[in-house]
Amino acid sequence: MLNFFKKEKEEFKILSPVDGELIPLAKVPDEVFSQKIMGDGFAVTPNGTTVVAPLSGTAASVFPTGHAVGIQTKDGIECIVHI
């Protein structure tokens, strides 16, 4: 007999990477993000100039122009900061 144990989903916090107004992805004028092709998330209309990591992890990838950084946590959560 096989026993399957349901793993509880871990809760984690993602902070805003920049000061500004939080807006839903559906309002972003880029279809890749507004249609959630890259996954779920949020957008910020910035009124600050400093961008920080929204969660603790390792920069797993950096786009050559520096406008996007992929972050991966020790638990395997992946996040993209796209500027």
What is the set of active-site residues? 82
| CB contact at 8 A, 45 and 16 | no
What's 29's DSSP letter? S
| CB contact at 8 A, 80 and 68 | yes
For residue 79, the SS3 value is: strand
What's 1's DSSP letter? -
**Neighbouring-strand partners of residue 23:** 43
